[in-house]
Amino acid sequence: MSTMNNLCNETAARIRELRESSDATIDDTAAKMGISPDQLRMYEEGKTDIPIGILYSAAGIFGVDLTDLMTGKSPNLSRYCVVRSGKGPEIERYPGYRFQSLAFDFQNRLFEPLMVTLNPDMNATIAPVTHGGQEFNLVMSGRIRVIIGGSSIELNTGDSIFFDPSIPHGQLALDNQSASFLTVIMHDHPSDSMKQ
């Protein structure tokens, strides 16, 4: 099994452990996440990739930091957090769509900055996602297409977009080349803020 599959399975196990330790049922937790109990079971068993929106939702529901779910380690910095180039923890939520946390060790974040790298070979497999709050994307390299609801917007290096992520959305690499973008996700309210 690959390292990435191990990380995904560990994340799935952490969600299940948090739910079980808080005596929450599959049905109640799934309802809070806006998904079916069967879908939550598949996530918890590592049978399907967990969308980033579900990770945010789980963190908010169980009062933990996204870093806890991704790495199993709680953030411990409160003044500042430096992440050297390429050194943030990575998680591949879908094949070809890799997130790197840029503030993973800072406590009580009010927003989540992530570097996202897209592999153009996997464009066809990326499904739209939804989550609460607000989202900002800044293209760092290459070109991407952002699909929001029925709209399709092409962005070049240096272009940005700010949008409502409760609308189904996704990003694709263009020109048959890898692309990367900075995404910053601001949460709806304090219970979504990835707090400890």
| Rounded Cα gap, residues 139 and 143, in angstroms | 7
Domains of the chain: 3-71 (1.10.260.40), 90-192 (2.60.120.10)
Least confident of 58-62, 143-147, 150-154, 182-186: 58-62
pLDDT tens sequence across 153-181? 999 999 999 999 989 998 999 999 999 99
Give the Cα separation of 140 and 66 in Å (integer).
23
Query: What pLDDT digit, counting tens, does each position of 16-60 carry?
Result: 999 998 899 999 999 998 889 999 999 998 888 787 778 888 888
Q: Report residue 143 as tokens.
A: 């070109």
Residue 192 has pLDDT above 60, yes or no: no
Q: What is the pLDDT of residue 5?
A: 58
Chain segment 83-129, per-residue pLDDT in tens: 888 888 877 666 677 888 898 888 888 888 999 999 888 776 677 88
pTM of the predicted protein model: 0.75
